Amino acid sequence: MEFKQASLKNGLTIVAEINQSAASLAMGFFVRTGSRDEEPVEKIGGVSHFLEHMLFKGTEKRSPFDINREFDQMGAAYNAFTSEENTVFYAAVLPEFQTQLLDLLGDMMRPALRKEDFETEKQVILEEIALYQDRPQHRLAEKLMELHFGNHPLSHSVLGKPETIQSLTHEDMLTYFKQRYSPSNITLAATGKVDWNALIDKADQTCSQWEDYPVSRKTPPLNPSCKKESILDEKLLREHIGMISPAPSAQDESRYAAAVMSTIIGDVTGSRLYYALIEPAIAEEASCVFEPMDGTGIFYTFICTTPDKADKALQIAQDEYANFIKNGPTEQETLAAKNKIASAATLKGELPMGRLTALGFDWIYRKEYKPLADEIERILAITPEQVHELARQYDLNNASILTLGPGKQE
């Protein structure tokens, strides 16, 4: 593994983790913009994600069909995603297509944003929103983020509300693009069998004329609500329960202990929640994940069960958390959690695509490069005491709670 980094004059950063023995390479543009950067949200909520779609709809020299066809011609595995904080465009190809891929991805980053494509794609966005409305787990997560973050911009829905999408104008999108897609707000990351010199040359040729301007992100103080609410939906058969509590941020060194803690508590097998809820079938699903974010973070607990067991399941989870805060983890379960994380990271790291997001986000959040081996070493060094200390610092029961389901049937 070899790490390389460079910057163009306009501020675009390029990072690469080169693995000569890989069979493919992955590449992505990481834009530091997402739903939290959408203000006013009543007017432009959902624009980041909509814009992500629009980048596939053509440039000055490429039609939407050209873009799709070129990806397909390279046999690329490609897509894009938008979160509260980032918009990422990525593809994996065989090494011979490196230059052609960058030519395409780089061009896409300066989209034509044609009005007629905007109107057609608006329908697709509305269909995507409808699709997620049929997924209770997604509805729960969206509403719970809103409940937990309140007035903070992290409460913004990534997809946006249908009425906001309906009334969003083409001009709104152009304005947003011009405020957020500055090269200094974008990182180009590449992993796998990368030809570094060719990458830099092509990036210079494709991206150096992008105009730089300052981009900022608002980070107002957090005021987690820690309220408990319920949404009744009689059409559902099962009760979906979510809990969000504060956690270390992506910049915080204690994120390693937080990762170990969430694995001990809420991994899908062998965790505290697994033994308390899944093994005795009090719930069919129960997990706790750690999600580090820009300047903050959350622990997200999810439980899914039948309505008659919902109260009991939540109570058991809260009791488990109280007990964990009091007594901390055992040596044995800390070790098992660390091994699971190390093993999962190794498996993921064997694919260029698997390393791409790690490389890109290391740079976006921390302006650093961490080889996988270092990352694993940091995890393996975590002690039960550190996890216990973290559990006392971040009280999992000091949480915003939302339930979605049919409620108790009398």
Q: How far is the CB of 254 from other proteins (least distance, A)?
A: 23
Q: Which of 2, 39, 166, 281 lies at the binding interface for other proteins (CB under 8 A)?
A: 281
Q: How far is the CB of 126 from other proteins (least distance, A)?
A: 8
Q: Which of 42, 131, 151, 209 lies at the binding interface for other proteins (CB under 8 A)?
A: 131
Q: How far is the CB of 280 from other proteins (least distance, A)?
A: 5
C-alpha 243/C-alpha 260 separation (Å) is: 19
Q: Which residue has the tokens 């991805």?
A: 105
The stretch near other proteins (CB under 8 A) out of 32-40, 183-191, 244-252, 278-286 is 278-286
| Segment 208 to 247, residues that bind other proteins, using CB under 8 A | 235-238
In 59-114, which residue ranges form alpha helices assigned H by DSSP? 64-73, 98-108
Dmax (CA) for the chain in angstroms is 69
| Per-residue contact flags (x/-) with other proteins for residues 50 to 89, judged by CB under 8 A | ------x-------xx-xxx-xxxxxxxx-----------
Cβ proximity to other proteins, 15 vs 125, nearer residue: 125
Q: Which of 14, 44, 92, 215 lies at the binding interface for other proteins (CB under 8 A)?
A: 92
Q: Is 284 in the site for other proteins (CB under 8 A)?
A: yes
Torsions phi, psi for 279 (to 5 deg): -55, -45
Q: How far is the CB of 6 from other proteins (least distance, A)?
A: 26
CB-count burial class (<10 Å; 0-12, 13-18, 19+) for 110 = middle
Q: Which residue has the tokens 């976006």?
A: 364
Q: How far is the CB of 262 from other proteins (least distance, A)?
A: 14
CA angle 259, 263, 268 (to 5 degrees): 140
| Contact (CB, 8 A) for 150 and 225 | yes
Q: E-strand spans in 8-124?
A: 13-18, 25-31, 77-82, 87-93
CB-count burial class (<10 Å; 0-12, 13-18, 19+) for 200 = middle
C-alpha 283/C-alpha 276 separation (Å) is: 9
Which amino acid does the sequence have at 248? P
Cβ proximity to other proteins, 105 vs 250, nearer residue: 105
Sheet of strand 13-18, all strands in order from the earlier edge strand to the far edge: 2-7, 13-18, 186-192, 25-31, 87-93, 77-82
Cβ proximity to other proteins, 130 vs 232, nearer residue: 130
Q: Which of 2, 115, 124, 315 lies at the binding interface for other proteins (CB under 8 A)?
A: 124
Q: Which residue has the tokens 């939407």?
A: 64
| Segment 291 to 350, residues that bind other proteins, using CB under 8 A | 304-306, 332, 335-337, 339-340, 342-344, 346-347, 350
The stretch near other proteins (CB under 8 A) out of 31-39, 243-251, 275-283, 382-390 is 275-283
# chain residues binding other proteins, by CB under 8 A: 67
Which amino acid does the sequence have at 186? I
Tell me which residues touch other proteins (CB under 8 A): 21-24, 56, 64-65, 67-69, 71-78, 92-94, 120-128, 130-131, 133-136, 235-238, 269-270, 274-275, 278-281, 283-284, 304-306, 332, 335-337, 339-340, 342-344, 346-347, 350-352
